[in-house]
C-alpha cells in the first residue's frame, strides 16, 4: 500500500497554514473592498479615506521591531514590548479616528466614513489574525521570511 499525502510529516500543518493564508487573503480583500467603496462610489467620490492605507502599513512595524529586539524566553513582560503594543494601539486608534475627523470636517460623507470604518475593522482583524497564526516560533513562523 503506497503512502498517502496525509502520511507525509507536517502535511496536516501545511494544510492548516494554506487555509489560514487563504482566509487572511480573503479578509484583506474584503477590507480593501469596503475602503474602495467608501472612496469610489459615485455618491461619495472623495479619495481622502485612502490615507488610512498608511496606518495599515505602519501598524505592524513597532511590534515586528520589538519581536526582533526582545528575547521571548522571559515570562515577564518588558518595556520594549509594551511600548511597541502602545505605539501599535496609537496607530490603530488613529486609523479609526481619521475618517471620523474627515466626516466632521465635511471632506467625506458619513456613509463613506461608515464604509471606511468597516474596512478598518476587517483589515485590522486580518492583521491580528496574521500575527496569531504566524506569530509562534515554529516551522511556519513569519520571522523566517
3-class SS letters over the chain: CCCCHHHCCCHHHHHHHHHHHHHHHHHHHHHHHHHHHHHHCCCCCCCHHHHHHHHHHHCCHHHHHHHHHCCCCCCCCCHHHHHHHHHHHHHHHHHHHHHHHHHHCCCCCHHHHHHHHHHHHHHHHHHHHHHHHHCCCCCCCHHHC
Percentage of the chain modeled with pLDDT above 90? 59
pLDDT of residue 99: 97
In tens, the pLDDT along 33-66 reads 999 999 999 999 999 999 999 999 999 999 889 8
Q: How much is the average pLDDT of 67-79? A: 71
For residue 14, is pLDDT > 70? no
pLDDT at 66: 87
Whether pLDDT at 100 is above 80: yes
Amino acid at each position: 500500500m503506497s503512502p498517502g499525502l496525509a502520511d507525509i510529516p507536517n502535511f496536516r500543518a501545511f494544510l492548516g497554514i494554506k487555509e489560514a493564508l487563504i482566509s487572511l487573503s480573503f479578509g484583506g480583500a474584503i477590507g480593501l473592498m469596503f475602503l474602495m467603496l467608501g472612496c469610489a462610489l459615485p455618491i461619495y467620490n472623495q479619495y481622502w479615506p485612502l490615507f488610512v492605507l498608511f496606518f495599515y502599513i505602519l501598524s505592524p512595524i513597532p511590534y515586528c521591531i520589538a519581536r526582533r529586539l526582545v528575547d521571548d524566553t522571559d515570562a515577564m513582560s518588558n518595556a520594549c514590548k509594551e511600548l511597541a503594543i502602545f505605539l501599535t494601539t496609537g496607530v490603530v486608534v488613529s486609523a479609526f479616528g481619521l475618517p471620523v475627523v474627515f466626516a466632521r470636517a465635511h471632506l467625506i460623507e458619513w456613509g463613506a466614513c461608515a464604509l471606511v470604518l468597516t474596512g478598518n475593522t476587517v483589515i485590522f482583524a486580518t492583521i491580528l489574525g496574521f500575527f496569531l497564526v504566524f506569530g509562534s516560533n515554529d516551522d511556519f513562523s513569519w520571522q523566517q521570511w
